[in-house]
């Protein structure tokens, strides 16, 4: 039994609280890649990594890496992401980074240099809150970021390439080559759903991560004066978009499967109360645990766009921003995590993840293992996101045990 | 027969072209009150007013007034507004200002000082593109701007009071007292609808202006993670808003009246593709030519918000931003305009206005008369907005004749 000494509960609380003050606007966090808020968070974690005895660097896309060289240069990595959604909470991503730093810190102090190299990773741009691309940091690390991704722009028209250059990461040219030195990646994360909390369980080991795609749908109508154009003569992009969104939602509900469909972003142009909407751009987030069903679902929704275009005299275009198939976590790492939890007196639950994680991307190049702690009420991606510091500590202790087993 | 000499057609074209280059982004105009773009446009018109021999001043809210004192200090005013919608065209508002300046310029040069005082007015903030308040300038002039209006904020959270102060108009305290020195206000405007163009007519005299109200509806749901929250357990503000908008539209269409209903602005918060929408704010623009029917329509839509709140487990709030009843144009001024048009060889059409205008506001304190020239294809509030310079000239010539009859 390794775990973490009891005094680490306070350190976790302090670190999460301090990190949770960076990028705060009102009650929520707004920490987007390549902004001053993000930079302050990265600098803070960089300091903690240094204090833990890790050698720190940033890769060409802004991922933060803290390394403790082992006898072997094969790497056992732990971590999560530092960015947040718009108006997000303090635990999503941050917990995995903080727990990774503290687990490494404790092991290095207590057990000296590891056999395998330990790396703590704070990924950038997991959420896709600023640019319409998720998993930016892990996709770079696995060589799946494309040159086209760099041309995607935020709401102010700044492209990812421009933001990278302005933040001091100029001239990157994806794809990078995928890392081949990883023997394992372990990620501790809040569940972000209601399963553990409603079952009264403290720890979960993830079996599979649901497939997920992000699509941008553009509905092109015609701008007209709101007072002088009879309603029947309009080509109102917003009316067409409302119809299409509700029809898609009904369609997905009708399948009675675990598929989830969400429109979280919708922009109306030109956006004046007295102008008939000329264009609506909205996002589709679609998730499914089964690869075949996932593919059929996308095709069905895409066909619905064509029908809507004919009915509403608008032009509807469908743009795949990214798509990732469901992935299974490593059987071996699941066992390592479950054993570590049991050794510390817990009875972990095995469950799938409805949320996407950097682990999902890294699975292409390394075995991945994920550990969940409960989210109160299943709430996440909002300021009310909450996990008790004690449960955060329990998760970090299991992470430390697993890291010791793999790296020492 | 007065009219305007033929060489004024080129001057109108030149003025409209020059003004149409100020605030241009891509193909459209973005000229909002209290911005550098607006200030450039006002400075340009100020110069033209000075060249025309008018004494120029700005009132406390930023309206631009060019005055030629007459034997009497009773005022015959002409003009329109200088601001545009988001991505608007070159004729809406600008034509009435340019035609007013040139008509006054010609009359002063040709006939000397007038009997009554002539005032050319370039109103500010007619459109409500930046702040959720329309007719800012004319409401100030008629004493109907309220202290609450000053607290309304633009998309960046800047209040109207802050914008006024920053632009050098500090300390205004509405209501002002309404002007009582106006004997008439004449406004030349593009029709912004398809009636004159499809009938092949060059000039229209406006009978009534439709009543119009602007409402802000807020739908409050709950932010949740798009991957981990089952669709049936959500309180999705966007799904509720889509349902409500479509239901309201069906309701209005079902009345089979000239009522028009438009949702032109809709904001989703937090606005990330992977977060279930917590809040949607949308505008309602409702117009009707009949005062009683207009009142009933508003009440019916408001009741629908209550029903939606119960059905969709969201909180829906309704906020009246402004409302103005239908108004009739002065019978006497309609005759003056029709006579002036006939004397110049035209056969003007009498028609109502579906669009709101500053004339509608000024009608509370002075007789108003409105003259329309055709909009190609009825298009307006968009970059494709178009009226031939020749038709602009014909309208300006009738305006000059009417101004001469009233002021000399």
C-beta separation of A350 from A204 below 8 A: yes
Mutation for testing the B interface, residue in A91, A215, A226 having most B CBs under 10 Å: A226
C-beta separation of B251 from B304 below 8 A: yes
Q: In this structure, are A334 and A314 located in the same domain?
A: no
C-beta separation of B119 from B307 below 8 A: no
Whether residue A166 lies inside any domain: the answer is yes
Interacting residues of A112 by C-beta distance below 8 A, sequence separation 6+: none
Whether residue A1 lies inside any domain: the answer is no
Q: Would you say the ipTM is above 0.90? A: no
Supply the DSSP string of A278-340, one letter for each residue.
Answer: -EEEEEEEEEES-HHHHHHHHHHHHHHHHHHHHHHT-EEEEEEEEEE--EEPPHHHHHHHHHH
C-alpha A61: how far from chain center: 16
Q: In this structure, are A195 and A339 located in the same domain?
A: yes
Q: In this structure, are A185 and A280 located in the same domain?
A: no
> Residue A214's closest chain B neighbor by CA?
B273
Q: In this structure, are A28 and A158 located in the same domain?
A: yes
Closest by alpha carbon to B122, among B30, B58, B182? B58
Supply the DSSP string of A40-74, one letter for each residue.
Answer: HHHHHHHHHHHHTTPEEEE-TT--EEEEE--SEEE
| Cα distance between residue B142 and residue B362, in whole Å | 6
Whether residue A317 lies inside any domain: the answer is yes
pLDDT digits (tens, 9 = 90+) for B99-133: 999 999 999 999 999 999 999 999 999 998 899 88
For residue A229, what pLDDT is reported? 86
Could you list the beta-strand ranges (E) of A166-263: 182-190, 204-209, 211-220, 224-225, 260-262
For residue B191, how many C-alpha atoms fall within 13 Å in the half-sphere facing its CB? 33
Whether residue B3 lies inside any domain: the answer is no
Nearest by CB to A264, which of B249, B262, B277? B277
> Hey, what are A62's tokens?
């802004």
| Cα distance between residue A377 and residue B86, in whole Å | 42
Check pLDDT > 80 for residue B2. no
Interacting residues of B23 by C-beta distance below 8 A, sequence separation 6+: B29, B30, B31, B35, B37, B38, B40, B41, B84
> Residue A356's closest chain B neighbor by CA?
B227
CATH number, residue B230 = 3.30.70.360
Residue A346, classified by CB atoms within 10 Å of its CB into exposed (0-12), middle (13-18) or buried (19+), is: middle
pLDDT digits (tens, 9 = 90+) for A314-364: 999 999 998 889 998 999 999 999 999 999 999 999 988 988 899 999 999
Q: In this structure, are A290 and A373 located in the same domain?
A: no
For residue B74, what pLDDT is reported? 97
- Residue A272 and residue B129: Cβ atoms within 8 Å? yes
C-beta separation of B284 from B263 below 8 A: yes
List CB contacts (< 8 A) between B252 and chain A: 231
Check pLDDT > 70 for residue A1. no
Q: In this structure, are B14 and B76 located in the same domain?
A: yes
For residue A94, what pLDDT is reported? 98
Check pLDDT > 90 for residue A115. yes
Chain A nearest C-alpha distance from B269 (Å): 8
pLDDT digits (tens, 9 = 90+) for B25-83: 999 999 999 999 999 999 999 999 999 999 999 999 999 999 999 999 999 999 999 99
A276-295 residues touching B, CB cutoff 8 A: 276-278, 283-285, 287
Q: In this structure, are A132 and A256 located in the same domain?
A: no
Mutation for testing the A interface, residue in B228, B250, B326, B358 having most A CBs under 10 Å: B228
For residue A180, what pLDDT is reported? 94
Check pLDDT > 80 for residue A175. no
The 3-state DSSP class for residue B83 equals: coil
Q: In this structure, are B194 and B264 located in the same domain?
A: no
Q: Residues B290-327, buried b or exposed e (16+ Cβ, 10 A)?
A: beeebeebbeebeebbeebbeebebebebeebbebbbb
> Hey, what are A238's tokens?
């917003």
CATH number, residue B113 = 3.40.630.10
> Residue A232's closest chain B neighbor by CA?
B253
A194 touches chain B (CB under 8 A): yes
Total domain count, chain A: 2
Provide the mean pLDDT of chain B. 94
Nearest by CB to A260, which of B191, B226, B356? B226
List CB contacts (< 8 A) between B381 and chain A: 223-226, 272, 274-275
Rg over alpha carbons for chain A, rounded to the nearest Å, is 22
**End residue of a domain, out of B294, B324, B354:** B324
Q: How long, in residues, is chain B?
A: 408
Q: In this structure, are B49 and B59 located in the same domain?
A: yes
> How large is the average pLDDT for residues A50-54?
97
Name the DSSP letter for residue B29: E
Residue A258, classified by CB atoms within 10 Å of its CB into exposed (0-12), middle (13-18) or buried (19+), is: middle
| Count of Cβ atoms closer than 10 Å to residue A166 Cβ | 11
C-beta separation of B215 from B268 below 8 A: no
Supply the DSSP string of B129-173, one letter for each residue.
Answer: SSSS-S-HHHHHHTT---GGGGG-B-TTS-BHHHHHHHTT-TT--
Whether residue A2 lies inside any domain: the answer is no
**End residue of a domain, out of B272, B303, B324:** B324
Q: In this structure, are B189 and B71 located in the same domain?
A: yes
- Residue B265 and residue A271: Cβ atoms within 8 Å? yes
C-alpha A200: how far from chain center: 25
| Cα distance between residue A358 and residue A346, in whole Å | 26
Whether residue A45 lies inside any domain: the answer is yes
Label the pairing between strands A211-220 and A279-288. antiparallel
- How large is the greatest C-alpha to C-alpha distance in chain A, in angstroms? 77
Whether residue A273 lies inside any domain: the answer is yes
A/B interface, count of CB pairs below 8 Å:
251
Q: What is the pTM of this model?
A: 0.72
Instruction: For residue A259, give its domain range.
Output: 212-324
**End residue of a domain, out of A286, A307, A324:** A324
For residue B132, what pLDDT is reported? 86
Is residue B324 very low, low, confident or very high in pLDDT (cuts 50, 70, 90)?
Answer: confident
Q: In this structure, are A295 and A191 located in the same domain?
A: no
C-alpha B346: how far from chain center: 27
Q: In this structure, are B65 and B168 located in the same domain?
A: yes
B205-234 residues touching A, CB cutoff 8 A: 210, 212, 214, 222-233
Whether residue A3 lies inside any domain: the answer is no
């Amino acid at each position: 039994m390794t775990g973490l000494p009891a005094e680490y509960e306070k350190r976790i609380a302090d670190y999460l609280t301090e990190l949770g003050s960076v990028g705060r606007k009102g009650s929520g966090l707004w920490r987007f890649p390549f902004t001053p808020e993000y930079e302050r968070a990265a600098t803070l974690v960089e300091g903690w990594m240094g204090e833990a005895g890790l050698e720190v660097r940033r890769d060409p896309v802004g991922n933060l890496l803290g390394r403790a060289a082992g006898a072997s240069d094969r790497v056992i990595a732990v971590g999560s992401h530092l960015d947040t959604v718009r108006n997000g909470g303090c635990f999503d991503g941050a917990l995995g980074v903080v727990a990774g730093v503290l687990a490494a810190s404790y092991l290095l102090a207590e057990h000296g240099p590891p056999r395998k190299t330990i790396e703590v990773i704070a990924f950038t741009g997991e959420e896709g809150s600023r640019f319409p691309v998720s998993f930016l940091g892990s996709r770079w690390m696995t060589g799946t970021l494309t040159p086209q991704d760099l041309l995607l722009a935020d709401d102010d028209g700044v492209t990812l390439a421009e933001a990278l250059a302005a933040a001091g990461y100029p001239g990157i040219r994806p794809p990078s080559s995928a890392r081949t030195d990883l023997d394992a990646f372990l990620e501790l994360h809040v569940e972000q759903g209601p399963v553990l909390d409603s079952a009264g369980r403290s720890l979960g080991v993830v079996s599979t991560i649901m497939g997920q795609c992000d699509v941008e749908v553009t509905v092109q109508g015609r701008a007209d004066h709101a007072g002088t154009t009879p309603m029947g003569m309009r080509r109102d992009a917003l009316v067409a978009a409302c119809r299409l969104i509700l029809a898609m939602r009904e369609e997905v509900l009708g399948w009675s499967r675990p598929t989830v469909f969400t429109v979280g972003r919708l922009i109306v142009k030109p956006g004046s109360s007295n102008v008939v909407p000329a264009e609506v751009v909205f996002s589709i987030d679609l998730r499914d645990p089964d690869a075949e069903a996932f593919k059929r679902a996308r095709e069905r929704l895409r066909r619905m766009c064509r029908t809507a275009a004919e009915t509403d005299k608008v032009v509807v275009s469908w743009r795949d921003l990214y798509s990732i198939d469901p992935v299974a976590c490593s059987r071996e790492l699941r066992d390592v995590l479950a054993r570590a939890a049991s050794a510390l007196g817990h009875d972990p639950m095995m469950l799938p993840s409805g949320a996407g994680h950097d682990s999902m991307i890294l699975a292409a190049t390394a075995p991945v293992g994920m550990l969940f702690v409960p989210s109160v009420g299943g709430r996440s991606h909002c300021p009310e996101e909450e996990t008790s510091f004690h449960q955060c500590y329990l998760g970090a202790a299991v992470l430390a045990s697993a890291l010791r087993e793999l790296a020492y």
